[in-house]
Chains A and B, each alone.
Chain A
Amino acid sequence: QKEVEQNSGPLSVPEGAIASLNCTYSDRGSQSFFWYRQYSGKSPELIMFIYSNGDKEDGRFTAQLNKASQYVSLLIRDSQPSDSATYLCAVDNTDKLIFGTGTRLQVFP
């Protein structure tokens, strides 16, 4: 069974700090990696995707991929209370995505 693992949290960070969210996956053949944000009671929305080793930046968000170690992470700089949500990691598996159970982030003022 191919798996995607995330710490469920909650991860609590003060406003303005960097939040670091991590995800590990089991299938070495995976090529594409996604981060979604899900507010309580809402559907997931895409933050960003990454498919090459290294960093990819988009505004306050940076995705990091290390295929050798089979992990992908999401850094949120200058965290805001509005960033408080559950962050889902997803990994491509041939013709579908496998989702982790998500990490709940709490940003306190």
Chain B
Amino acid sequence: DGGITQSPKYLFRKEGQNVTLSCEQNLNHDAMYWYRQDPGQGLRLIYYSQIVNDFQKGDIAEGYSVSREKKESFPLTVTSAQKNPTAFYLCASSTRGRTASTDTQYFGPGTRLTVL
């Protein structure tokens, strides 16, 4: 059963704490992405990775960190430096190529993070 899994589904964090969101895929996709979505807003790119051991900052990387040690996994750490982390976090993956069919991103179910 192929797909993208994210855990946990809901996460509560106290101010000043770092938390790590998990994203795993078994689709054999090369590229993985992290997005943040605030209520009534679109998706904003945090970080992305096209290959193991390499990743790039997106539009809103400040206060976040990632690693890509395995092709299947792309965890996101929300650090205490992130001023307003309460949001819906979405992980996606895709193959990479030059045709539309390989650029398509598929999303996990998301993690809803709330800072108390």
**Chain A residues packing against B (C-beta within 8 Å):** 8, 31-34, 42-46, 49-51, 88, 90, 92, 95-97, 99-102
Contacts and interface: CB of A to CB of B under 8 A. Distances in A.
B48 interface: yes
Contacts of A99: 35, 42-43
Contacts of A45: 107
B116 interface: no
Contact of B100 (A31, A88, A101): A31
B45 interface: yes
A32 B90 contact: no
Given A43-B108, A44-B107, A32 B45 contact: no
Given A43-B108, A46-B106, 15 more contacts: A31-B98, A32-B99, A32-B100, A32-B103, A44-B43, A45-B107, A46-B105, A49-B101, A50-B100, A51-B99, A51-B100, A95-B31, A95-B50, A96-B33, A100-B42
Interface of B: 31, 33, 35, 40-43, 45, 48, 50, 56, 58, 90, 96, 98-101, 103-110
Question: Interface centre among B96, B100, B106, B108, by most A CB within 10 Å?
Answer: B100
B58 A96 contact: yes
A8 B103 CA distance: 25
28 contacts: A31-B98, A32-B99, A34-B104, A42-B109, A42-B110, A43-B90, A43-B108, A44-B107, A45-B107, A46-B104, A46-B105, A46-B106, A49-B100, A49-B101, A49-B104, A50-B100, A51-B99, A51-B100, A88-B42, A92-B100, A92-B103, A95-B48, A95-B50, A95-B96, A97-B103, A99-B43, A101-B41, A102-B42
